[in-house]
Copies of this chain bind each other. A is one copy, B any other.
Amino acid sequence: MSILKGACLIGQSGGPTAVINASALGCIEAALKSDAVTRVYGAAHGIKGVLDDRLYDLNLEDPKELSLMMNTPSSVLGTCRYKLRDFLVDDTEYRRILDIFEKYNIRYFFYNGGNDSMDTCSKISSYLSQHDYECRVIGIPKTIDNDLACTDHSPGYGSAAKYIATTCMEIYRDSTVYDTGSITVIEIMGRNAGWLVAASAIATYKGIGPDLIYLPEIPFDMADFISDIAKVYERKGDVLVAVSEGIKDKNGSYITSYFTDDTKETDVFGHAKLGGLAANLANYANAKINAKVKGIEFGLIQRCAAHVASETDVREAYMAGADAFKAAEAGETDKMVAFERGPGPGYSCHTTLIDLVEVANVEKKLPREWINEAGNGLLQPFIDYALPLIQGECTIPMVDGLPRFAKLKKIYAGEK
């Protein structure tokens, strides 16, 4: 196999995570060291930065400052939620992308994101190869939602899960401290897959977590919800509930839509915008069971809480980026880096490669057999799956009692 000489470009896309920059760093550091790579660029705000010809010259950054990306949450290069059209319908943007790739002689392209980003990555890969432009295209997975197909888990999930489990333990302690009776509802992210809300079950496994957990995989019924709560309230006097923002009834309607018109709003990918569910469900419960009620929405903190990131997740995220570059350097293209769990009782994890078309736009749901029969709690196989992913605490560089995040110079290619 011949060595492909040229520049390397990395872009970040989709919602932030606590570890997306660890992945970017793994890829950037490997690229900066490689003899095949003439220059390393970062796209400002993902594919939008390519279309706008806004590429940061990462060779001009201080390597020490770059290394702080390891514990800096939320895309250092900027992100976007931008869907490329099908190039068979309109290839204007693809021609623009090809122009930019030619202008900078980009031969290594890495796109760091979730489902939608792998779709973008796959389309660009196809277009370039159909136009005989040699470029190795590798997707680097990232999503707190853990819903990417063909990978044991995704970088970002372990840290979000650790935040959720830790905070649920703290909230359990807080919400059960009075002797007056309480119903507390926590709303956790996850549009269609319940991986995030399921992470609250790790706190329950530790004896201080939600009594009831509702996932988007299981049709949600308001009457069952009230009856579930009433049973726990009767027995314990305090009820802690975790619900996914994406719970739906048996007809597929979001429960959020029972309370608001918010679901009519959609993002650019046509996904319904969600939110406000915890407070509404808590109020609804209060009308049926008279207790002190509270709704808590974890909101975007759950995806950017680097201060409680999983060391395992950070390390694996870096590995995903580094292995993406190694694979490209070795001649691979049109793939996504995936995680495979090693056999045996101890936990181990290594990377493998999957065809981009296999993962693009596919959502991985929680297996039904990991959820209890009543559909309001998780079983041991889920704990066995998730527990290794939240292990270890990061040593974050601190200044004045606060984390020191990476501050890049961000000099555009072509600028002085």
Contact = CB atoms under 8 A, between A and B. Distances in A.
Contact of A300 (B165, B294, B301): B294
Given A310-B401, A392-B401, A79 B178 contact: yes
Contacts of A307: 166-167, 170, 307-308
A306 interface: yes
B170 A306 contact: yes
Question: What is the copy number of this chain in the assembly?
Answer: 2
Given A310-B401, A401-B387, A175 B392 contact: no
Interface of A: 16, 44-45, 48, 72-75, 78-81, 162, 165-167, 169-171, 173-175, 177-179, 202-203, 206-208, 276, 279, 294, 296-297, 299-301, 303-308, 310, 312, 387, 390-393, 398-403, 405, 407
Contact of A276 (B179, B207, B279, B403): B279
Nearest to A54: B179
A205 B353 CA distance: 44
B208 A405 contact: yes
A297 B300 contact: no
Contact of A296 (B167, B179, B300): B300
Contacts of A304: 170-171, 173-174
A185 to B, nearest CB: 12
Contact of A177 (B79, B306, B405): B79
B208 A167 contact: no
